[in-house]
Structure 1
Amino acid sequence: MTPQHTLPAIAHPDRLFPADPDVRAVARELFALVEHAPILSPHGHVDPDLLADDVPFPDAAALFVTPDHYVTRLLHANGTGLDRLRPSPQASARDIWRAFCASWPAFAGTASGYWIACELHHVLGVGQPSARDADALFDEIAAVLGRADYRPRSLFRRFGVEVLATTDDPLDPLTPHARLAATPQAPLGGRVIPTFRPDRYLAAGTPAWSAAVDELVATAGDGHDGYAGYLAALANRRAHFIAHGAVSADHGMVTPATLELDPAQARALFDRLRAAPAPDRDPADVAAFGQHMLFEMARMSVDDGLVMTLHPGIHRNHHRPTLAAYGPDTGHDIPVRTEFTRGLQPLLSRFGTEPGFHLVLFTTDETTFSRELAPLAGFYPSVYLGAPWWFLDSPYAIRRFREAVTETAGFSRSSGFVDDTRAFLSIPVRHDAARRVEAGVLARLVTEHRITGAQAAEIIVDLVDEAPRRVFKLPARAGA
């Protein structure tokens, strides 16, 4: 039996708009201009096999709980062991869903709570979680997911996704991307493209680095070995990704520091690190190599045109016992203070004014918005402001970001919204939220008589559609 639910707050047509009625009225008009614009998602983590295989989603727990470290981290903080949030003989999918529903009140006011509430109501058309109705809601979701029009490709079309970028290892054969590219456009309605993510081949401090480099050079080094083969292999794999539609190379690091070494210095450093077992590698050498390779990645982006995106400032795997027991991406990656201005000076001094070079900077450190990122983007033609990311990809943080950077860098230096999600069903609700917040910010500027309504209309269309195309070098919209 389907449980009875009252209309949730998440269904309100004015959600996320400003409370002031005059500002809200303008926000409604601006939002209407972009509400149904195509979704451009130039950075994210959806598994391409999801769309290539097009099999039904399995169940509510697998869809909303188990793979989402935003969700599992807060459940863990409130006393639910991670062993109860993974399928096992002791924890079925229904058990995991019950545990989540019992803790649903803990998600009030959180970004995760907002996304999930929107997905349930606006995407699946079902009720909201509660401990009392957990089993009934689990069955109701299962019935929806079993329908043909809720398979991944059908939802992709319904969401209006024009471009969806995944994040992929340089040695990934990109088989699902090739399968999707060979599929006639009509069944999918948009493109799925890969993103080059070379982190594990640049992180010389990790135990797996040497083996990863061996595999990389053997696969794509053009018969060269050593540092020359290493650089050749990275360039060759970038070319492979470009041939499969990639438009960007993504880099995650704790600090965005960069360093330029001459070829002899770089080769000697590479050889020294390769010769030492991981525990014996000099931390100063490890840091210098990572900084130099970030510089080299910028040089390659100047050469081949891939947009360079930086996602720094995360202390990954903070709780060692959890890492040992459950592996990475289990909710204990924590933001740290980040410094851009000095760290990026070598890179920007060399490449910051190179024609065609695009560098998109993301941060989880809000203090850098107005102090560093906006001034950098306000001078360097290559630098663009990435949307608030990870712990900041929430309605209030998006508003704070816009208010912090606009007076220095304006609206034109923004990348457009980036959803950065693994949760496929959250894509439309995240883009909807970003569009609502942007409409609210612009409406306030209109009602304060800082810009005109006509200017605001042009700006919101640019932010939603034209900016991501411009920054990520995507094709212009049809008919433009």
Structure 2
Amino acid sequence: MAALTPHPDRLLPADPGVRDLARRLYAAVAELPIVSPHGHVDPRLLLDDAPFADPTSLFIQPDHYVTRLLHAGGVSLSALGVGSGPLPEPAARDAWRLLCSHWHLLRGTPVRYWFESSLALFGVTARPSLDNSDKLYDEVAEKLLSPSFRPRALLDRFNIAFLATTDDPADDLAAHRALGDAVPTRIAPTFRPDRYLEVGRPGWTSYVKDLAGDGGDVGDYAGFIAALEERRRYFVAHGAVSADHGHADAGAEPLDRREAERIYRSAVAGTVTVREAVAFRRHMTFEMARMSCDDGLVMTLHPGIWRNHHPATLAAYGPDTGHDIPVAVEFTAALQPLLEKFGTHPGFHLVLFTVDATVYSREIAPLAGFYPSVYAGAPWWFLDNPAEIRRYQQAVTEIAGFSRLSGFIDDTRAFCSIPARHDMSRRLDAGFLASLVAEHRLDEDEALDTLTTLVVDQPRAVFKI
């Protein structure tokens, strides 16, 4: 039976001399705490601390990185339990068999790397296949019954010092309040207002009312702005450090006040046009930057995704089920009005992410290399793989330097993959810095200081943790 044993030198440079340097650097940071300032773990998972139901609900159903690859290989999403709650045991076992029998579809992908590392936590040492799928299911399921594999125990084992969730602005954050000091990790909410800013989105007129709560009124533009500002203050009071924005483009062009009021009235009446809705959303992106200057929330911006590209999959399984597809994106012109106004504002932090790899060297790095407010976000979604991370390291640091990086962002719903993703980043950073030492561009003590900063200090500074 083929073994599944993560190699101690995985992702480190192939050249023996450089690899020795990278080993030393990596060893110095391998056990440092994880700082995760952007992700999608449900805080109720940690609040309830209930045992995970089964291997499928832990490793397959919530992870669209996994399900999209299997779907591309001909596996139906329904058979994997996508969009469903915990499956009955026979169905969960069947989904696990599908994963194991299609393990070859993960070859060469970062998903394979994360999965191997995650399975190693559960003592799995055999490569998944159809022949051993039931045995592996039973091995993992037995571990899940142990108190040491419940969510809070894993949180402690993973050594996560800070974990940000992603939350609707209308959320009362009850789970965060209830968690309080129950866990040593700081669990922080993140303000994610996208659906309230997209006034042309179906259903906007009904759910925007939730934004104001019992005492507010979002019937006019002034009330809408006041409600957003109040909810941001509420999030800050409950420990939030950032506001996250993921629209189709990075446009941030302010409207005249009267024009913004007019479009908002049209949105409330349900008569807003597509062009007006786009203009209003770009105006609100500008307004979100203004609010960040006022309340201190770090602004993260990750445009350039065609959300829910396959309507039938959206209808059957819901959003975030693997069919968000990258599109080309532009930052320099789109953000010029915002940066003209706020780019040098004291304390304003703007972290830019992209799924268009060419943008890092052409736009994001030059912007981060001038504006003190701008930071280059870590490679995200389709770019969070070894090849693109290596290209990012060169593309950004040679233009803007290490101090303009955000630090690693895992951006995951798959709880058990968090340490694997951060470990991947640490290994790749160690390898890149080792190459700079080997080329006599850095001394080894500088490389070690830089790596330690990237792992712990940089994300804390950028996200004001």
After TM superposition, give the deviation of residue 81 of structure 1 in Å: 1.3
Q: Is the 8 A contact 1:399 1:441 kept in 2?
A: yes
| Aligned-partner residue type, residue 314 of structure 2 | L
Q: In structure 2, do the counterparts of structure 1 residues 299 and 368 end up closer, same or farther at CA, with 3 Å as the change threshold?
A: same
Q: Give 1:165 shift.
A: 0.2
1:267 aligns with 2:261: yes
| Residues 11-40 of structure 1 deviation map (CA, whole Å, 9 limit, x = unaligned) | 211111000001000001111121111100
Residues 1:177 and 2:176 aligned together: yes
SS in 2 for 1:360: strand
Q: Which residue of the partner structure matches residue 32 of structure 2? A: 37
Residue identity matched to 1:313: G
Partner of 1:384: 375
CA contact (8 A) 2:205 2:268 kept: yes
- C-alpha distance after superposition, 1:161-187 (max 9, x if no partner): 11000000001111110111142xxxx
The residue number in structure 2 matching 1:463 is 454
Determine if contact 1:169/1:197 at 8 Å carries over to the other structure.
yes
Q: Deviations over 1:119-151 (max 9, x none)?
A: 001x21213311110001000000111111111
Corresponding residue for residue 149 of structure 2: 150
Which string of whole-angstrom CA distances, capped at 9 and with x for unpartnered residues, describes residues 387-445 of structure 1? 01111112222111111111101100001001001011011111111000000000001
Amino acid at match of 1:103: H
Residues 279-315 of structure 1, C-alpha deviation per residue, up to 9 Å, x if partnerless? xx31110110000000000000000000000011100
Q: CA deviation at 1:220?
A: 5.9
Q: Distance in 2 between matches of 1:338 and 1:224?
A: 32
Q: Does 1:205 align with 2:203?
A: no
**Could you tell me which of 44, 48, 55 is aligned with 1:49?**
44
5+ long unaligned stretches in structure 1: 475-480
Aligned: 1:375 with 2:374: no
Question: Retained in 1: the 8 A contact 2:192–2:245?
Answer: yes
Q: The residue matched to 2:407 in structure 1 has which SS? A: coil
1:224 Cα offset (Å): 6.4
**Structure 1 residue 410 corresponds to structure 2 residue 396:** no
2:238 pairs with 1:244: yes
Match of 2:353 in 1: 362
Aligned residues: 460
2:80 maps to 85
State the secondary structure of the residue aligned to 1:249: strand
- Separation (CA, whole Å) in 2 of partners of 1:117 and 1:208: 41
Structure 2 distance, partners of 1:311, 1:405, is 17
Retained in 1: the 8 A contact 2:208–2:218?
no
Cα distance in 2 between the residues matched to 1:416 and 1:192:
18
2:442 corresponds in structure 1 to 451
Out of 325-334 and 302-311, give the one that drifted further. Answer: 325-334
Judge conservation of contact 1:255–1:339 (CA < 8 Å) in 2: yes
Deviation at 1:272, TM superposition (A): 1.9
Inter-partner Cα distance in structure 1 for 2:230 and 2:177:
18
Cα distance in structure 2, aligned partners of 1:285 and 1:332: 27
1: CA distance, partners of 2:110 / 2:367 = 28
Aligned residue in 1 for 2:163 = 164
C-alpha distance in structure 1 between counterparts of 2:439 and 2:61, whole Å: 45
Match status 1:66 vs 2:61: yes
Distance change (3 Å), C-alpha of 1:392 and 1:91: farther
In structure 2, how many angstroms separate the alpha carbons of the residues matched to 1:22 and 1:74? Answer: 36
> Quick check: 2:255–2:280 contact (8 Å CA) kept in 1?
no
Conserved 8 A contact 1:220-1:236: no
Alignment-mate amino acid for residue 130 of structure 1:
S
Report the aligned-residue RMSD: 1.4
Specify the alignment match of 2:113 in structure 1.
Answer: 114
Equivalent position of 1:350 in the other structure: 341
Quick check: 1:295–1:347 contact (8 Å CA) kept in 2? Answer: yes
Give the secondary-structure state (helix, strand or coil) at the position aligned to 1:82: coil
Question: Higher mean Cα deviation, 64-73 or 414-423?
Answer: 64-73
Matched to 1:307, the amino acid is V
Q: Is this contact kept in 1: 2:190–2:241, CA < 8 A?
A: yes
Q: 1:448 to 1:243 in 2, by over 3 A?
A: same
Is the CA contact 2:46–2:151 (under 8 Å) kept in the aligned structure 1?
Answer: yes
- Among 173, 188, 198, the alignment partner of 1:193 is 188
Aligned to 1:477: none
Equivalent of residue 438 in structure 1, options 413, 418, 429: 429
2:7 maps to 12
Distance in 1, Cα, partners of 2:456 & 2:64? 29
1:367-401 CA distances to partner (integer Å, 9 max, x unpaired)? 10100000000000000011011111122221111
| 1:472 aligned partner, one-letter code | F
Equivalent-residue separation in structure 1 for 2:332 and 2:215 (angstroms): 35
Output the amino acid matched with 2:452. Answer: V
Mapping of 1:310-325 within 5 angstroms? Answer: 310-325=301-316
Which of 279, 283, 304 is the matching residue for 1:288?
Answer: 279
Q: Deviations over 1:192-223 (max 9, x none)?
A: 110000011011121111112222134463x5
What TM-score do the two structures reach when normalised by structure 1?
0.93
- Partner AA of 1:248 in structure 2: S
Partner of 1:96: 95
| DSSP-derived class of the 1:45 partner | coil
Q: What's the TM-score, normalizing by structure 2? A: 0.96
Alignment correspondent of 1:329: 320
Written as runs of structure 1 = structure 2, the 5 A alignment for 1:214-229 is 214-219=209-214, 221=216, 223=217, 225-229=219-223
Contact kept? 1:220, 1:233, Cα under 8 Å: no
